[in-house]
Amino acid sequence: MSNTRFRVLLTNDDGPPSAESSPYIFGFWHYLTTELGWDVKVVIPSSQKSWIGKAYQIHDTIQGNYFYPKLPDGEGEVSETSRPLKEGELGEWVLLDGTPASCSNIALHNLYKDEIDLVLSGPNLGRNTSSAFALSSGTIGAALSAALSSTRAIALSYGTVGRAPPAELYLPAHALGASIIQHLLKNWGIDADGVRAGEIDIYNVNIPMVPGLLAEEGMPVLYTRIWRNTYGRLFKALPRTTDASPDVSAAGPGDAVTQGAGQKEVHEEEVGKLSFKFAPDMSGLIGSRLDTLPEGSDAWAMERGWASVTPVRASFAEPSAIDVFPEGASLQDRLIKL
């Protein structure tokens, strides 16, 4: 790292500031720049991109605009060209018509090449605990994209537990998130098989938005493992005349999803119409009883009201070699005979 201000790329999958769909990024950016004094570049999708993972839309030409947020909520003007700041504007962000992973890669290699010390993705609206959510998360996807570009990365998500959290929890969540990030920077873990100099590829941080954030003793923060779970139906069949826009809240995978008002659910015999709407069945994914979750997992910590920090490798996980072939097996022994 250089002797200049610490340089951070901030991206997300929720898009520009919005009370409904992206309530956290502006406040978090403002905290990092004013409280920590970091130099934070913001490159985010121009619209909501949850549940998209680490996808790249390779046949699209990605267009961008500049965005100029203002207090108190981060709303601001959009411009096709970069311009000087106007009165009240706090900075210049970049909005790209691309995926979170695309934003991460373009920022690192095209916009701010060799200028970034750390990539932060988030804070996501909704948890990204468990393998079912993590593998779908655009927030984690952007962090993985950074790791594959040999850059340290942290994904940060604010898990809603029950109803929408009150605004009084936002600042404590930002402060805790920043403290966790600072701790990780000073204590970045070792992974001999990591893609970058033998260290942990990325960290996945989840903070539950619960009153425990206001506790005088602070919210417990636990190193965790990903809860390995599964999901079932993600789509519902619809009559062909029904609007098939996704029936998912503007939040990430871990936020609640509701059936659209006035929407007709189609029975199995009608599925031949081939019209489906994204409306995942969340049973078994969120709201699990604490005693049914593996102790020390990210989902277990979330249900306890604790923040979780999960080291993640930027690769598909492999079983231990000894579980696949005998210990000491030679390459010849490992050849598959068809």
Kindly report, residue by residue over 107-133, the tens digit of the pLDDT: 999 999 999 999 999 999 999 999 999
First-to-final CA distance of the chain? 52
What is the per-residue pLDDT for 197? 80
Instruction: Reply yes or no on domain 7-227+295-312 having CATH 3.40.630.30.
Output: no
Instruction: Provide the 10 A C-beta neighbour count for residue 167.
Output: 10
Domain boundaries, the chain: 7-227+295-312
List phi, psi (to 5°) of 316: -70, 130
Buried b (16+ CB within 10 A) or exposed e, 49-82: bbbbbbbeeeeeebebbbbbbbeeebebeeeeee
What is the per-residue pLDDT for 247? 56
61 DSSP 8-state letter: P
State the pTM of this model.
0.88
Per DSSP, which regions of 51-117 are E strands? 64-69, 76-79, 93-96
What is the per-residue pLDDT for 286? 76
- Rounded distance between C-alpha atoms, residue 202 and residue 121, angstroms: 11
> Do 252 and 125 form a contact (C-beta atoms < 8 A)?
yes
What is the per-residue pLDDT for 17? 98
Whole-angstrom CA distances from 36 to 58, 93, 119, 224, 288 are 37, 19, 16, 26, 37
> Do 94 and 43 form a contact (C-beta atoms < 8 A)?
yes
Task: Look up residue 92 and give its amino acid.
Answer: E
What is the per-residue pLDDT for 284? 72
Which residue ranges of the chain lie beneath pLDDT 70? 1-3, 161-162, 240-272, 287, 318-326, 334-336
> Chain centroid to CA 256: how far?
16
What is the per-residue pLDDT for 256? 45
Q: Can the peptide bond before residue 72 be classed as cis, meaning omega within 30 degrees of 0?
A: yes
Per DSSP, which regions of the chain are E strands? 7-11, 39-45, 64-69, 76-79, 93-96, 118-125, 153-159, 202-208, 221-223, 235-237, 276-278, 307-312
> Do 124 and 156 form a contact (C-beta atoms < 8 A)?
yes
pLDDT-above-70 percentage for the chain? 84
What is the per-residue pLDDT for 121? 99
- Rounded distance between C-alpha atoms, residue 52 and residue 131, angstroms: 14
Buried b (16+ CB within 10 A) or exposed e, 188-219: beebeebbbeeebbbbbbbbbbbebbeeeeeb
What is the per-residue pLDDT for 289? 82
> Do 124 and 251 form a contact (C-beta atoms < 8 A)?
yes
**Placement of tokens 């373009």 in the chain:** 106
What is the per-residue pLDDT for 239? 80
Instruction: Provide the 10 A C-beta neighbour count for residue 278.
Output: 14
